[in-house]
Structure 1
Amino acid sequence: MHSHIAEAIKQPDLIRVRPDLFCLRFESMKVYSALGAVRHLLDSGAVQEGDTLIDSSSGIYAHALALACHRFGLRCHIVGSATVDRTLRVQLEILGATLEQVEPSKNLRLDQELRVRRVSEILAGNPSYHWMRQYHDGIHYYGYREVAEILDREIPAGAVTLVGGVGSGASTGALATYLAEAGRDACVVGVQPFGSVTFGSEHVPDPDMIIAGIGSAIEFRNVRHELYDRIHWVNFACALSGSVELLRSTGIFAGLSAGAAYLTTLWERRGRGFRTYVFIAADTGHRYVEDAYAQHRDAWDIEFLRPHEIASLDELKPPWSAASWRDIPPRTHRG
């Protein structure tokens, strides 16, 4: 029995898609991150009951932080992207969190810069607020130790390849770290949108991509680049196609990042030696219905999709590129 809804929501479902392929499916993955971070802040005395926590979010983290604050008796203020929809806005309001959204922008960099700038302005006027810094503070890794323990216990023994959106780095980075601590041979494949600075694709725009949560237009100091073995850059059309096929073939209704991770995982496991593959579905597909799933008739057949393997970031091109990250010349690293 759970003492709070946040404890229930955070629990992932581990779904066997194929004998060697699993989906780690969350209702809202960042609840783990937020609960772990807030619990650490309270235990360390950095914040106290009744304090206000503030951060920016494109959607998932806003809900997660609001639930964590509700769970521990804290106030919550979110500077949100225009992608925060009405369903989430209403929930935040009822949970007692306050939300302000920046102006809509097709440009990921502008959206994130506006949000961070606004957070700085609010902090200047309210110095007692605690900035969660989900993109920079290592405390967001802590909550995922429990997820790694679940994976280590539930999936077959032996080597594992973890595939997921990079975003702030906390989910894939933390899971890789804790799996390695458990003695697993863990390979990590990160998924990025074009236009993200984290792994150097900022010079290749993708105006249709709406999964800002897995990319970065500003530096994210939470990302530990050395943890990633392979990187795949996926555009909107490929992510949509992966999401539609994931729903069609498995019944899993998840966000665009899950579709991109599924597409990437199917490619990575071709011709490889025996390993277990786990891809992350960070959220459900509900908020992507109008802007993505409604276009399902335009989705490509993923059987005919192939990534463009690159040896330098100058070779990046849509719709899908891939690289062994450690083989990319350091002088071309832009992250």
Structure 2
Amino acid sequence: MKAVSALAAVRHLLDTGAVRRGDTLLDSSSGIYAYALALACHRYGMRCHIVGSTTVDRTLRTQLAVLGATLEQMEPCSDLKLDQKRRVERVHEILAEHPEYHWMRQYHDDVHYLGYRAIADRIREAVGGAGGAGGGAAGLTLVGGVGSGASTGALARYLRGADDPARPPADVELVGVQPYGSLTFGAEHVPDPEIIIAGIGSSIPFGNVSHELYDTLHWISFDAALAGSVDLLRRHAVFAGLSTGAGYLAARHERERAPERTVLFIAADTGHRYVDTVYARHREAKALTDLAPREVADQRQLALPWSRMRWNRAPAPAGPQMRAFRARGSPGWPLRAMLEA
């Protein structure tokens, strides 16, 4: 999924003179973005340096090596929050040693929104417009893991017409999917006994998450996402990752609530790195008919395995980490200039 984002970001940096061919691009990743950035660097003649999560598997390590990327992988760690913190600290150490490296800041730089404009255009064509009515007379509901905020945030902005003031307002609802334990929408106080689903949550504030874009949030546990992934393969022959299983659950529910709307969900990656941790446990998967979200009014009511809350395009939740981050402001590129580029 992030290949479109990384390719557009690197091309923009080259076009604007922010980097030159042969420069080294640096970032941290739990998997998908590492592969995407390595592909982009290979295409445009750049060097790629990745600080990888402990979850990066042998298959991805091999792919990165073939593409010529340098990978520094964190030591095994049972706490993905600590893993994320250590990766960010290592990035800063590398920048101190190599100030000539360009840090891509996939979590904080709006340059990563650019690649999704073309995807939004394809969605408009596929669902019959997504402009004016937003995917037919009843509108479009977009479902996806929040993660860094770039994919769902960018698609919602473009589909709603942020890049074209002349286009009529579109009826596009954005539904974000989060793991328990994620800080982004205020669920850090509810741990998942299994794992935080890598890639769709965060233990640190992300500047690319625009909370005001989201209409609804689903918090989905590892066990529920596992059931979604297994059902998706059995029912639709789609072999995808754990975040896709979570998105599939949320999308099915939103479709049942509003069958008149077109519902689209993002399947971020394939299931290969989840063979042992998810698909080998397929006998444990619950039937989807046994799963339903608990409707909550605020984060204090969150409970495993699945909770749903209307967000109503509210600002970021109050909290010391989020307040400190927002006080600093996002270090990213000015979004309006990016949308108009």
Choose between structure 1 and 2: higher strand proportion: 1
Deviations 1:184-219 (A, max 9, x none): 311000000001000111011114125210000111
Deviations 1:86-145 (A, max 9, x none): 111111112111000112222222111100000000000000000000000000000000
Equivalent position of 1:318 in the other structure: 304
> CA–CA distance in 1 between the matches of 2:257 and 2:229?
23
Please tell me the residue identity of whatever aligns with 2:66: I
| 8 Å CA contact 2:28, 2:34 repeated in 1 | yes
Equivalent position of 2:332 in the other structure: none
| 8 Å CA contact 2:225, 2:246 repeated in 1 | yes
Equivalent position of 2:92 in the other structure: 120
For residues 163-242 of structure 1, what are the structure 2 equivalents within 5 Å? 163-181=143-161, 183-209=169-195, 211-242=197-228
Equivalent position of 2:11 in the other structure: 39
SS for the counterpart of 2:28 is strand
| 8 Å CA contact 1:164, 1:189 repeated in 2 | yes
Which stretch shifts more, 303-312 or 223-232?
303-312
Equivalent position of 1:83 in the other structure: 55
Long gaps (5+) in structure 2? 129-134, 162-166, 323-341
SS for the counterpart of 2:115 is helix
> CA–CA distance in 1 between the matches of 2:244 and 2:260?
23
SS for the counterpart of 1:54 is strand
Equivalent position of 1:23 in the other structure: none
For residues 1-335 of structure 1, what are the structure 2 equivalents within 5 Å? 29-156=1-128, 157-158=135-136, 159-181=139-161, 183-209=169-195, 211-272=197-258, 274-326=260-312
Please tell me the residue identity of whatever aligns with 2:158: Y
SS for the counterpart of 1:270 is helix
Summarize the Cα distance change of 1:328–1:147 in structure 2 as closer, same or farther, 3 Å threshold: closer
SS for the counterpart of 1:91 is helix
SS for the counterpart of 2:251 is helix
| 8 Å CA contact 2:213, 2:313 repeated in 1 | no
> CA–CA distance in 1 between the matches of 2:211 and 2:313?
13
Please tell me the residue identity of whatever aligns with 1:153: E
Summarize the Cα distance change of 1:331–1:60 in structure 2 as closer, same or farther, 3 Å threshold: closer
Please tell me the residue identity of whatever aligns with 1:52: T
> CA–CA distance in 2 between the matches of 1:47 and 1:329?
34
Give the share of equivalent positions with the same residue, in percent: 62
TM-score, scaled to structure 1: 0.88
| 8 Å CA contact 1:313, 1:328 repeated in 2 | no
SS for the counterpart of 1:245 is helix
Please tell me the residue identity of whatever aligns with 2:105: R
| 8 Å CA contact 2:244, 2:267 repeated in 1 | yes
Summarize the Cα distance change of 1:185–1:59 in structure 2 as closer, same or farther, 3 Å threshold: same
> CA–CA distance in 2 between the matches of 1:80 and 1:331?
29
> CA–CA distance in 1 between the matches of 2:7 and 2:123?
19
Deviations 1:40-84 (A, max 9, x none): 100110000000000000000000000000000000000000111
| 8 Å CA contact 2:181, 2:196 repeated in 1 | no
Which stretch shifts more, 126-135 or 198-207?
198-207
Summarize the Cα distance change of 1:137–1:332 in structure 2 as closer, same or farther, 3 Å threshold: closer
Summarize the Cα distance change of 1:64–1:328 in structure 2 as closer, same or farther, 3 Å threshold: closer
How many pairs align? 307
Please tell me the residue identity of whatever aligns with 1:226: E
| 8 Å CA contact 2:229, 2:242 repeated in 1 | yes
- Structure 1 stretches of at least 4 aligned residues deviating more than 3 Å after TM superposition: 327-335
TM-score, scaled to structure 2: 0.87
Please tell me the residue identity of whatever aligns with 1:114: R
Please tell me the residue identity of whatever aligns with 2:236: T
| 8 Å CA contact 2:80, 2:195 repeated in 1 | no
1:328, distance to aligned residue in structure 2 (A): 7.7
Summarize the Cα distance change of 1:63–1:330 in structure 2 as closer, same or farther, 3 Å threshold: closer
Which stretch shifts more, 152-161 or 317-326?
152-161
Please tell me the residue identity of whatever aligns with 1:102: M
Long gaps (5+) in structure 1? 1-28
| 8 Å CA contact 1:311, 1:327 repeated in 2 | no
Q: What value does the CA root-mean-square deviation take over the aligned residues?
A: 1.6
Equivalent position of 1:14 in the other structure: none
1:332, distance to aligned residue in structure 2 (A): 5.6
SS for the counterpart of 1:99 is strand
